[in-house]
Amino acid sequence: MNGTTKRVLILAPHCDDAEFGLGASIQRWREEGATIQVLIASCSDYQRSDGNPVCAKQRLIEARKAFDLLGVSGWKSGGWFKENQALSVDYGRLVSLIENEIKVVDATDVYVCLPSFNQDHRVLFDATMTAFRPGAQLASLYAYEYPGNVWGPTPPETGKRYLVVDMDEIQTKIEALEMHETQFAGRSAGVGPQAAVTLARQRGAEIGSQFAELVYMLKEIH
């Protein structure tokens, strides 16, 4: 790796997951001089659980608005698998794509979404763990949460890292999430921007702070 600048790569299953898990920390890292790249693994037309259709083109427009607000210019959609169809992916190819992205970014820190009830989250997490098999990568690996993790595999019991954030960063995070109108319009409950606020407040309370985002250290290299 060249130099000492922190180079963060966030692997997001869908267009809003990076914001859900790290939307406040992204702002702080950027202010500290880190370079931030976000790779969205899946973005395709699909149907929401309530039956409403979602257009991939519109999702990317929303993602651009959200990342512009967060000050992240380095993001792209990989199109690695169709939304909510990751179980049908060529697993070996997916691992290779992740490995290549890490090398291209020359990442010092990689963040991947924890597995949940959603198959895309599970497959991307598992493939990233494979990419970080012993001797394969020289970056540090962390897993971030999102509100939907309350229904899914049990998170790690150790390796908790609390990223303290402030009210302004949380407010901007929520504004970025609200850009994803195709996900939350017409929904009165479930995973949404306000759930992210509740989770950040809970994590903050666990360490005596107002707000925090929680990640799990999976492999740390100094």
138, part of any domain: yes
In angstroms, the CA 163 to CA 214 distance is: 6
2, part of any domain: no
What Rg, from alpha-carbon coordinates, does the chain have?
A: 16
In angstroms, the CA 21 to CA 113 distance is: 8
Characterize 181-206 residue by residue with b for buried, 16 or more Cβ atoms within 10 angstroms of its Cβ, and e for exposed.
ebbbeeeeeebbbebbbebbeebbee
Q: Residue 106: left (phi > 0), alpha (psi -120 to 50), or beta?
A: left
- Beta strand segments in the chain, E: 7-12, 35-40, 46-47, 53-54, 74-77, 109-113, 140-144, 160-165, 211-219
Number of domains in the chain: 1
| The pLDDT of residue 53 | 83
208, part of any domain: yes
Whole domain around residue 144: which residue ranges? 7-219
Q: For each of the chain's 222 residues, which pLDDT tens digit applies? A: 444 689 999 999 999 999 999 999 999 999 999 999 999 999 988 888 777 888 889 999 999 999 999 999 999 999 999 999 999 999 999 999 999 999 999 999 999 999 999 999 999 999 999 999 998 778 999 999 998 888 889 999 999 999 999 999 999 999 999 999 988 877 666 678 999 999 999 999 999 999 999 999 999 987
| Cα 164 versus chain centre, distance | 17
1, part of any domain: no
168, part of any domain: yes
Q: Are 128 and 97 in contact (CB under 8 A)?
A: no
85, part of any domain: yes
CATH number of residue 21's parent domain: 3.40.50.10320
Report CA-CA distances (Å) from 193 to 16, 21, 58: 10, 11, 19
| Eight-class DSSP state of 155 | P
| The pLDDT of residue 196 | 93
Q: Report the SS3 class of residue 39.
A: strand
> Please, what sign has the CA dihedral across residues 155, 7, 86, 16?
positive
In angstroms, the CA 38 to CA 9 distance is: 6
206, part of any domain: yes
196, part of any domain: yes
| The pLDDT of residue 4 | 64
